[in-house]
Structure 1
């Protein structure tokens, strides 16, 4: 049956059925108006106050002349104004562009230039730095400063206008009647750039909304009289903090305690003080909880502990299980291009399948395909992990070649290699671009790294390929030595010998590079593009 909506005003019809990320705090405020929504270093907001600030910011953008679907960049550590800016931009039908503060000035400038950004919301602690950088980004016309413009700070005559964040807010605190299409873009997150220059990932209102609802359900966030409580040290400019923590928490009326960065002692103390119930973090962050119980902190309130973006050692798992006996520990994986989480490893999969990524979440279909092809493979076969579902991105900003490669056969190609076993469990093996092709063999850098990590003098290791005229590529191991390790030449020889004894000929490292640290992104991913240049 084809529905004929004759007789309905098109605008009224669109508004009544609107799927807008900007309406997430509106619904929460209607039910939990006086519940604390956000806290940061400077204070707190109730849900009613968050909704009012976001609405006033949206109307302020209209009055400032920012157009629909135009990007509004955010350069700021976690704070309440960051959140109100994000939701206000969504309410106005514009695109929120949180910029990775740790990606380096070159990549920050690339994001602002590539997106054509005219207006940037910047934290007061960063305004002088950003003001200096905008000389190379002539498209930026306005800097909106969180905390107000510092006394005595003036822009150059031909530079951007400086406005205090509070000064941009309009008097009107009503939720704007903005017509928004389901697949209209609401956010742009530039990828971490582990293998190439960062790409702008465009995500829709529908994708963000479905992911927030799905994560809230899987995390077990409580929609009721007793709020869930979370502490967020993860940066909101990354999808894990933004979509994984903030959006799902606000959707379910939780209380979010925002931290401007990660301090182990401060993080554990905050978790204990606010009686947090649900936590998401890197294993390194969660280690602070085990240390906190050693200091006598009461962390018995924690019911759900999700770790992401890095594996957890068995020793750390045991420590956390002892420290948080009532907490359900879950590994989650995903990517910005398919609004995470897409896969979750249930505790029931340990120990037999503790090396797996786990089962798909309810919001994304996971399949295995021939890399770059539309040919789907049967259970157990190795190939590229591909996705289909409402949380898939709209595409990359200004990158038609990457878009063509990403969408093949009606599915999003992740660039991750793996398999799905007969029980539906997803196993990751490596990134497509990180596979070393040596002597006709596809060598998983991840597999080589796992073997070399057993070397007694290797604290960290990452493997990449080096071009070779005979073998195509050779495996090179980049190693951070442990304290007390032998000299560089002796360590190199020892690592090569260790690999030769335990790995096939094509997999063993033919050269070793010793470094003080492995270059990583803000969320702990290894930047192999830098390692290839080093190797």
Structure 2
């Protein structure tokens, strides 16, 4: 299997259909395919060969769609950069992956100079925005216009398709290597359910297109023959307007976005009747928000997807029919058609139903490994089973319920935050003696990043100073939203900080340690 298969089929069967809508820009399947083949030719002339990494730092657009397919067409490797990262994190990912060409749009034009200053490995920077072209960049549109289309290499199978960076347990982002087989298997399995996406519909991209979750639904959309409708980024008004104007049928949002959408005071001013399906992830949706969402979108079904980047990224799905059963609304769903899911003990043995253990998954969607991190790969994938680090239980019907995180991670607003990344940033402040970072309940974000700090004798620091200090080192969504100052942290006999003791005051009223 290879990513561009669906494009060839679309050109053969429906070349005149609309492929992408981006504001006032509308392109047919045939037009889009021609541009993809031409841009692949431009990349080849720039010296990009099979296996080379090509990055993109941009907001959502139709050009993001073309980038994914053009890089795959050439047999190269995509590196979609997290737009919420700090410059230091961006530079680390480019250097770590050996990315040699970077695409940048208007929103990140000012980042080009500091990126070049911090990383000298870029062969070229391509500007794909609509504004004034920065100096020392190549024009995306001129490259397409100035090159002939080339033949698709049809690179596929276990060949590397993308390096998708996620949070790191050692304090640095780690690159998840996904193959063509990984991504297409996950897409085909999701499509096979019949409820993840409307075939031939209009798929709205409001969640960031760099993210593995949106990339996964984009892949399913290509297999289902949809029209991709993009808005630059999520805003309630922008999404409401796009749904109403372009009659979109499907979309991916995290529960926080759904809440903001249905609670927008101007929602009634828009015609939202076209929506048929919402996919959401990162956390279960609260019953109150779900009820308001079902009222706001009476014709739409809601599907929860649980997984991780390392699983390309879908492991379990909670269908619209499941959402009609109140007792299942806290579940993460059942194994998708392309994957096997188990709950196991510390030795990898499956535990009895209802017993809490670690959630593991096996299938063609399991990643190739972590980029240049063989030891971390071996620890995560054992005998073909991806160990998620999530504590969960499975009922007699195969529904998985996530109850804890065995790995030290917070999920806030749909983004994964590894505690050690935040702790490294906090601890580097000259007034901090020690610290611990945990996730605590938050009504808007599901969880928020909370830091517990012990200061050095005679030193003081404010919450605002901690916030400003961290913003210089890590992405804004990782920065602690709340801070507590204590005299000492609870420590085990082995000298380990007892984070469960810190969480108790926040989570004691629930039967889980996660939102």
Instruction: Answer whether contact 2:4 2:154 (CA < 8 A) is retained.
Output: no
Residue of 138, 146, 160 corresponding to 1:163: 138
Residues 244-393 of structure 1 correspond to what in structure 2 (within 5 A)? 244=217, 246-291=218-263, 294-349=267-322, 350-371=325-346, 373-393=347-367
Given that 1:116 and 1:139 are in contact with CA atoms closer than 8 Å, whether structure 2 keeps it comes out as: yes
Deviation string for 1:263-308 (max 9, x for gaps)?
1012112112222221221122223443468524322222212221
Q: Could you say if the C-alpha distance between residues 263 and 195 of structure 1 is closer, same or farther in structure 2, counting changes exceeding 3 Å?
A: farther
Matched residue SS, 2:278: strand
Alpha-carbon deviations, 1:241-269, whole Å to 9, x = none? 1112x221122111111011111012112
- Alpha-carbon offset, residue 53 of structure 1: 1.0
CA contact (8 A) 1:464 1:476 kept: no
Give the whole-Å Cα distance in 2 for the aligned partners of 1:459 and 1:503: 13
Counterpart for residue 16 of structure 1: none
Partner of 1:206: 181
How far has the Cα of 1:174 moved from its partner? 4.7
| Structure-2 change in CA distance of 1:448 and 1:121 (3 Å) | closer
The answer to whether the 8 A contact 1:25-1:50 is kept is no
Aligned ranges 1:92-103 → 2 under 5 Å: 92-103=74-85
Q: Retained in 2: the 8 A contact 1:57–1:88?
A: yes
SS in 1 for 2:337: coil
Q: Is the 8 A contact 2:256 2:446 kept in 1?
A: no
Show the counterpart of 1:185: 160
Q: Look up the SS of the partner of 1:414 in the other structure.
A: strand
Matched, 1:82 2:64: yes
Q: Mind listing any 5+ residue stretches in structure 2 that lack a counterpart? A: 411-435, 453-488
CA distance in 2, matches of 1:367, 1:310: 19
Residue 400 (structure 2) pairs with residue 419 (structure 1): no
- 1:233 corresponds to 2:210: no
Q: Aligned with 2:256: secondary structure?
A: helix
- Preserved contact between residue 87 and residue 111 of structure 2 (Cα < 8 Å): no
Tell me how far 1:127 sits from its aligned partner. 2.5
The aligned residue for residue 197 of structure 1 is 172
Is 2:64 aligned against 1:40?
A: no
> For this pair of structures, how many residues does the alignment match?
447
Aligned Cα root-mean-square deviation (Å): 3.3
Q: What is the alpha-carbon distance in structure 1 between the residues aligned to residue 510 and residue 267 of structure 2? A: 40
1:52 shift after superposition: 0.9
Question: Using a 3 Å threshold, how does the CA distance of structure 1 residues 21 and 435 change in structure 2: closer, same or farther?
Answer: closer
Does the 8 Å CA contact 2:319/2:333 hold for their aligned counterparts?
yes
Q: 2:149 aligns with which of 173, 180, 192?
A: 173
The Cα offsets for residues 333-371 of structure 1, whole Å up to 9 and x where unpaired, read as 111100122111224443112211111111111012224
Distance 2:10 2:250 in 1: 18
Distance 1:386 1:103, change over 3 A: same
In the superposition, relative to structure 1, how do residues 347 and 459 fare at CA in structure 2: closer, same or farther (>3 Å)? closer
Matched-pair contact (CA < 8 Å) for 1:374–1:409: no
Answer whether contact 1:149 1:163 (CA < 8 A) is retained: no
Using the TM superposition, give the Cα deviation of residue 217 of structure 1 relative to its aligned residue in structure 2, in angstroms. 3.3
Separation in 2, partners of 1:259, 1:148: 15
- For the residues of structure 1 that align with 2:252 and 2:116, how far apart are their CA atoms? 34
Post-superposition CA distance 1:392-434 (Å, at most 9, x none) = 1111101111111011133111111112222111111222123
Change (3 A) 1:214 1:285: same
Which residue of 410, 428, 435 corresponds with 2:402?
A: 428
Once the two structures are TM-superposed, the CA of residue 228 in structure 1 deviates from its matched residue by 0.6
Q: 2:312 is paired with a residue of what secondary structure?
A: strand
Q: TM-score, normalised by structure 2?
A: 0.79
The alpha carbon displacement at 1:388 in A equals 0.8
What is the alpha-carbon distance in structure 2 between the residues aligned to residue 408 and residue 384 of structure 1? Answer: 13
Give the superposition deviation at 1:464. Answer: 7.8
Which residue of the partner structure matches residue 24 of structure 1? 6
Normalised to the residue count of structure 1, the TM-score between the two structures is: 0.76
* Distance of 1:181 and 1:247 partners within structure 2: 14
User: Post-superposition shift, 1:221?
Assistant: 3.7
Is the 8 Å Cα contact of residues 221 and 254 (structure 1) preserved in structure 2?
A: no
| Contact 1:103/1:192 (<8 A) preserved | no
Q: Kindly tell me: are residues 499 and 136 of structure 1, through their superposed partners in 2, closer, same or farther at Cα, counting changes over 3 Å?
A: closer
1:503 positional shift: 8.7
Q: 1:499 to 1:277 in 2, by over 3 A?
A: closer
* Rounded Cα–Cα distance in structure 1 between residues aligned with 2:446 and 2:78: 39
Shift of 1:168: 2.6
Secondary structure at the counterpart of residue 172 of structure 1: coil
Q: CA deviation at 1:71?
A: 0.4
